[in-house]
Structure 1
Amino acid sequence: MTEEMSPRRLVAVFASPTAEMLARFGVELGFHVVVVEPDPARLVGTPRPHGDRAVSDLWAAEADDHTDILLTDHHRPEIGTLLREALAGKSRWIGIVGNPRHEGPHVAALRELGVPAEEIARVHRPVGLNIGSRTPAEIAVAVLAGLVADRNGRPGGFDF
């Protein structure tokens, strides 16, 4: 396989409706999908018919330079800690969902943890193509379309 054609891994952090849609659609688009949920109680009984696996540890996802990480919930208290871990790793791309009209809560959470501004700037927000996404399925389609465009060396439509 050539460098451009190496399989991409998509780590969807937090078991959420958006993560489920990313797992369903992502597998079909050639991504190796991992759902990471740091709260094991939220994984109990969760069926994953389309996802490869669900784990409770971000590092168990084996992030490397072919890995894209997306936090699928910006309201969880552990976003700062998880993003700091992701930024310290070898992932290719890191994003977090959220409204582009407001500064994301991840910025303050990372500042409180002493993460430098240039590292905070590596976290993409908004994420996905600008198609006016509102539902979990639409958000997943927009994110995956952007990642596919990037994988194929195309600009996509990330301008907001």
Structure 2
Amino acid sequence: MSGDPSCDVAHGKAAPEVEHRGLVAVFDTPVAQHLVRYAKDLGYNAFVYEPGEALPELDGSYDVVVTNHHREELGTVLRDVLAFPVRWVGVMGNPRHEGPHVKALKDLGVPDEQIARVHRPVGLNIGSRTPPEIAIATIAGLVADRNGRPGGFDFQASM
């Protein structure tokens, strides 16, 4: 043991202390498949949710990422997810345009404070383009958020 717990974990000399973490990737897309794979590697209880299935009970340890903002079920899925005390909810999409989830949720009568819980865009700004890159950026952003870090290469906030 080196005396530095983080170093010991990184070198496999100690087990990490990790609280329960869950991830729901909404809609079965290539990004969702990669996201679940990477999340499981990080110790998340991760799964893909496709509308039509029963949405399991989600507690405050879960993060939810909607991987397709073009689906007609977008509003109803988000409304249902927002009924749970999930830790974090996000929708993939271009940040230069208002997300279609806003109108979809307003049309369903979801209050503004609930709509404001939905993050967009998701993930770190690494210029990702492919499904694996998007999944890596997304899971890295979730880890940074869970750890109270800004992400990227700004290490000043973590000292």
Coarse TM-score class (shorter-chain normalised)? 0.7 to 0.9
Could you say which residue in structure 1 is the equivalent of 2:70? 75
Identity %: 62
Task: For structure 2, list consecutive stretches of 5 or more residues without a partner in the other structure.
Answer: 1-16, 153-159
Could you say which residue in structure 2 is the equivalent of 1:57? 54
The TM-score normalised by the length of structure 2 is 0.81
Could you say which residue in structure 2 is the equivalent of 1:136? 131
Q: String of CA shifts for 1:101-155, please: whole Å, max 9, x gaps.
A: 1111111100101111121111000000011121111110011001111222322
Deviation at 1:6, TM superposition (A): 1.1
User: Whole-Å Cα distance in 2 between the matches of residues 119 and 33 of structure 1?
Assistant: 24
- What amino acid sits opposite 1:9 in the alignment? G
Q: How does 1:95-106 map to 2 (within 5 A)?
A: 95-106=90-101
- What amino acid sits opposite 1:144 in the alignment? I
User: Whole-Å Cα distance in 2 between the matches of residues 84 and 65 of structure 1?
Assistant: 16
Q: String of CA shifts for 1:28-50, please: whole Å, max 9, x gaps.
A: 111110110115xxxxxxxxxxx
- What amino acid sits opposite 2:82 in the alignment? L
User: Whole-Å Cα distance in 2 between the matches of residues 16 and 112 of structure 1?
Assistant: 25
- What amino acid sits opposite 1:74 in the alignment? H
Aligned pair partner of 1:125 in 120, 129, 139? 120
Aligned pair partner of 2:145 in 140, 147, 150? 150
The runs of 4+ residues in structure 1 deviating greater than 3 Å are none
Question: Quick check: which has more Rg, 1 or 2?
Answer: 2
Q: What SS class does the counterpart of residue 76 from structure 2 fall into?
A: helix
User: Whole-Å Cα distance in 2 between the matches of residues 118 and 148 of structure 1?
Assistant: 24
User: Whole-Å Cα distance in 1 between the matches of residues 58 and 135 of structure 2?
Assistant: 20
Q: What SS class does the counterpart of residue 83 from structure 1 fall into?
A: helix
Q: What SS class does the counterpart of residue 34 from structure 1 fall into?
A: strand
Q: How does 1:82-93 map to 2 (within 5 A)?
A: 82-93=77-88
User: Whole-Å Cα distance in 1 between the matches of residues 76 and 109 of structure 2?
Assistant: 11
- What amino acid sits opposite 2:54 in the alignment? D
Could you say which residue in structure 2 is the equivalent of 1:50? none
CA RMSD of aligned residues (A): 1.3
